Amino acid sequence: MAKNDRGQPGVYRRALLTGLWRENPTFRLLIGMCPPLAVTTAVKPALTMGLSVIFVLVCSNLVVSLMRGLLKPHLRIIMFTLTIATFVTICDLYLKAFQPDMSEILGAYVPLIIVNCLIIFRAEACASKCGLVVSVLDAIGMGSGFTIALCILAGIRELLATGRVFDFQVMPAGFVPWLAMQMPVGAFVTLGLLLGLANIVTGKEPD
Amino acid sequence: MDRLSVLTMGFLSMVLVNNFVFTKFLGTCPYLGVSGRIDSAFGMGLAVTFVTALSGALTWLVDYYVLTPLGLEITRYICYIVVIAGAVQLVELYVRKFFPSLYDAFGIYLPLISTNCVILGICLFLDIWGTNSLLGVVVLSSGVGIGFTVAICIMAGIRENLNLADVPACLRGAPITLITAGLLTLAFMGFAGMIR
């Protein structure tokens, strides 16, 4: 994606769509792996986490893209992290004020968005090189891909651990909950198997 | 319990029972990335241990003596990041100067230590636990670092053997590493009854 990509209609669409599957941060690029493992015991915290990441990613890509002309090579990482930290603080305060129960569950994982490799990676690989629109579209695409991955993982774990998703009973009454799915081992094994599945699916695809 | 045994218990619980990699999922990126060979895993673990102890102590001091008295808790995350990034820069310069071979082994991961979840994680969790003495902070945060080293070295040892195993093609690389990590967390759950 070059700076003078204006006028090619495919560029915007590609910026938006790469993050969804072809470069899905969780399943394909394997970056930002803490939240997919840590907050996916149920769908609701996973969704909250995903939306927070989308907010931070869009805002930080926007700001980084605006200041990309001023960045000095040796100072850019610290500029990225400071920008991200500012928006994460905003997001954390918002969650504390309006979603106190979610903020309680997510705990330290909201401030840990600051060190999520995904956001720094997008700032470095896309926003510091591309124009405003491409950066924002890229952030939305990547953020959505991340959120979808979180929700798939959380859906599987919540379904198998409690037999319900979003408080709807899904499994029949005789279902014995798999308590292990709520423990760390459930997170690691489910994600590992999903990555294997993603490998099988992409192995069949032409690209 | 006297002070010494409280500290010892805290240290052991950080290394074994509440191991950050296995129970809090922090530091998963280097855990998957650098755990290919046991010597680079060990070097990475030591670097992380040093930086966690250093930045845990520094951020605690900043929080206790600057931010809380001045009522600036709202800027806590930003200050933590600046302190950690500064500490990592110093470690990086030191390693590059005195241990060039170690520096080559870390590759891209040493600069990325500043964005390592373990480091910011321990600073945040120290804040949540309300640790109130500098000695306790240093003991707990070096315990976290040692716990990370233990986890990443076990993993590197297993992965050196995994290279010889016949893994299904779709699970090669990261997936089998994650599944192995899941089984390791099961093993580490055995320590849960050890303290309290």
pLDDT tens string A73-95: 878 888 888 899 999 999 999 99
Residue of B nearest to A75 (CA): B85
pLDDT at A3: 47
Q: Phi first, then psi: what are they for A168, rounded to 5°?
A: -95, 130
Which range, of A3-12, A146-155, A176-185, averages the lowest pLDDT?
Answer: A3-12
Pinpoint the alpha helices (H) of A67-108. 76-98, 100-106
Cα separation, B194 vs B103, whole angstroms = 37
Query: Are the C-beta atoms of A43 and A129 separated by less than 8 Å?
Result: no
Residue in B25, B81, B175 closest to A114 by CB: B81
Residue of A nearest to B109 (CA): A117
ipTM for the predicted complex comes to 0.82
Residue in B25, B74, B185 closest to A38 by CB: B25
Cα separation, B173 vs B169, whole angstroms = 9
Q: Which amino acid is at B120?
A: L
Question: Do the chains contact at B170 and A203, CB–CB below 8 Å?
Answer: yes
pTM: 0.85
| Secondary structure of residue A180 in the 3-state scheme | helix
Cα separation, B74 vs A187, whole angstroms = 32
pLDDT at A1: 43
Over range A140-166, report the average pLDDT. 89
Query: What does the pLDDT look like over A13-43, one tens digit per residue?
Result: 888 888 787 888 888 888 878 888 888 888 8
Whether B32 contacts chain A with CB within 8 A: yes
Query: Are the C-beta atoms of A160 and A183 separated by less than 8 Å?
Result: no
Cα separation, A13 vs A121, whole angstroms = 20
Residues in chain B predicted with pLDDT less than 50, given as ranges, are none
Is the confidence at residue A45, as pLDDT, over 80?
Answer: yes
Token pair recorded at residue A114 = 């600051």
Q: Is B4 exposed, middle or buried (0-12, 13-18, 19+ CB in 10 A)?
A: exposed
Query: Are the C-beta atoms of A185 and B185 separated by less than 8 Å?
Result: yes
pLDDT at A92: 92
Which residues have C-beta within 8 Å of that of residue A102, sequence separation ≥ 6?
A44, A45, A48, A95
Which range, of A50-59, A185-194, B55-64, B110-119, averages the lowest pLDDT?
Answer: B110-119
Question: Do the chains contact at B120 and A93, CB–CB below 8 Å?
Answer: no
Q: Which amino acid is at A176?
A: V
Name every chain A residue with its beta carbon within 8 A of the beta carbon of B115: 77, 81, 115, 117, 120
Query: Are the C-beta atoms of A64 and A127 separated by less than 8 Å?
Result: yes
Residue A195 host element (H or E): helix A184-204
Hey, where are the domains in chain A? 9-199
Q: Phi first, then psi: what are they for A4, rounded to 5°?
A: -95, 50
Cα separation, A165 vs A48, whole angstroms = 15
Question: Do the chains contact at B179 and A193, CB–CB below 8 Å?
Answer: yes
Residue of B nearest to A182 (CA): B23
What pLDDT band is residue A207 in, cutting at 50, 70 and 90? very low
Question: Do the chains contact at A199 and B75, CB–CB below 8 Å?
Answer: no
Is the confidence at residue A206, as pLDDT, over 50?
Answer: no
What pLDDT band is residue A7 in, cutting at 50, 70 and 90? low
- For residue A41, which of A177, A197, A145 has the smallest C-alpha distance? A177
Residue in B81, B115, B185 closest to A184 by CB: B185
- To the nearest whole Å, the CA of A10 is away from the closest chain B CA by 32
Sign of CA dihedral B32, A113, B18, B52: positive
* Average pLDDT of chain A, as a whole number: 85
Query: Are the C-beta atoms of A20 and A140 separated by less than 8 Å?
Result: no
Q: How many CB atoms lie within 10 A of CB A167?
A: 10
Query: What does the pLDDT look like over A114-138, one tens digit per residue?
Result: 888 888 888 888 888 888 888 999 9
- Which runs of E-coded beta strand occur in chain A? 164-165, 168-169
pLDDT at B146: 92
- Choosing among A27, A29, A30, which should be mutated to test the B contact, i.e. which has the most B CBs within 10 A? A30
Q: Is A24 exposed, middle or buried (0-12, 13-18, 19+ CB in 10 A)?
A: buried
Is the confidence at residue A6, as pLDDT, over 60?
Answer: no
Question: Do the chains contact at B32 and A108, CB–CB below 8 Å?
Answer: no
